[in-house]
Amino acid sequence: MRVAVLGAGAWGTAISIALAARHPVALWARDARQARAIAATRVNERYLRDFKVPMEVAVEHDLGRALDGAELVIVATTVGGLRETLRMLRASGSRAPVIGLCKGFEAASGKLPHEVAGEEIPDRVYAALSGPSFAQEVARGLPAAVTLACADGAFAHRTARELHSRTLRIYSSDDVAGVGVAGAVKNVMAIATGICDGLGLGLNARAALITRGLAEITRLGLAFGGRPETFMGLAGAGDLILTCTGDLSRNRRVGLALARGDTLEQILQALGHVAEGVPTAREVDRIARERGVDMPVTREVTRVLFEGLTAADAVQDLLAREPKSERG
């Protein structure tokens, strides 16, 4: 299967490396200088400098060449860049099905990636690939398991089998809404867990926070029509655990820095990469309040990020909440 990967960030590069062993891959970079540099050195110096991009991956700046003959398109942009990329894809005339790798809610519209796709490419199959997977480990060829979700369950099942390998195990689902919510909100919970660890609150507190975070994800996911079992699976609990505990997690690092007292501007400048949990926190908080979904951890993270609340005070607010049934 000929695959075009649009977006030469860490994930786009990693998935290109992972798929190149079995499929012809074209990696499209918006920046012409980046495309030339990767093609010449076979290294994505900015985003994934420790890994060689195989010669089997054609690196392109011209979108038409990248899409030429593509039977599958993987969009590896951020949520903020998804809509524009889909518009470019639509204008290109390509009719290939699309898989999106981004996780989050679009700013202002509050839409999940599959909802954005429904507006921009309504006549095209769109699926979401999500689950516990750091780009660096996928590029290294270490084992990972993820979920491919699409409203067209037959497409998800068939394509998962096509892309599945010994080290990148892909499971199929038709719960695209549940997978989308889980992938978005887990980044907010990773910021919260980073704050918890940065304040030295201990492993007991971390476990409690992750568990209550999963409850928040599930409540919002059900409000979007997701299914309970999705949140217990790879795209839910699996991705949440990895992002909250893994040292490679950018969102966790944001939380650790907030606990040190760094400003958000300082944190994002030092990070050098997008931390999707930052803009997502504000969107999730707004959506939860509009829909009447109780999400106290998300509320406190949003207050720390955007409303001047200190990390220590946010923790005190959570600890001061009245006890309630665990089902609530």
- The topology (CATH level 3) of 3-174 is Rossmann fold (3.40.50)
Give percent of the chain with pLDDT exceeding 90.
95
> Is the C-alpha dihedral spanning 87, 92, 94, 98 positive or negative?
negative
* C-alpha pair distances (Å), 41 with each of 5, 56, 238: 19, 14, 35
Per-residue pLDDT reduced to its tens digit, 136-168: 999 999 999 999 999 999 999 999 999 999 999
Residue 328 pLDDT > 70: no
Q: What angle do CA 63, 46, 35 make, to 5 degrees?
A: 25
- pLDDT at res. 325: 78
Assess whether 324 carries a catalytic annotation: no
What gap in Å lies between CA 263 and CA 245, rounded to an integer? 22
Q: What is the pLDDT of residue 319?
A: 87
Alpha-carbon gap, residue 24 to 3, rounded angstroms: 6
Mean pLDDT, the chain, rounded, equals 96
Distance, CA of 262 to CA of 278 (rounded, Å): 14
Kindly state the average pLDDT of the residues 245-259. Answer: 96
Query: Rounded mean pLDDT of 73-91?
Result: 97
pTM score of the predicted model: 0.95
pLDDT for res 198: 97
Tokens 């689902």, residue located: 173
The percent of residues in the chain predicted with pLDDT above 70, rounded, is 100
CB burial of residue 99 (10 Å; 0-12, 13-18, 19+): buried
The total number of residues shown for the chain amounts to 328
Token pair belonging to 313: 């005070």
At residue 97 the predicted structure's pLDDT band, cuts being 50, 70 and 90, is very high
Query: d(Cα 89, Cα 216) in Å, to the nearest integer?
Result: 35
Q: Would the pLDDT of 77 be above 70?
A: yes
Please, which pLDDT band fits residue 320 given cuts at 50, 70 and 90?
Answer: confident
Looking at the predicted structure, is the pLDDT value of residue 78 above 90? yes
To the nearest 10°, the Cα dihedral for 281, 282, 285, 290?
A: -150
Which of these is catalytic: 52, 103, 186, 324?
186
Domain ranges of the chain: 3-174, 184-319
User: What is the CATH class of 184-319?
Assistant: mainly alpha
Q: pLDDT digit string (tens) for 206-246?
A: 999 999 999 999 999 999 999 999 999 999 999 999 999 99
Dump pLDDT digits (tens) for 262-289.
999 999 999 877 789 999 999 999 999 9
Residue type, 32: A
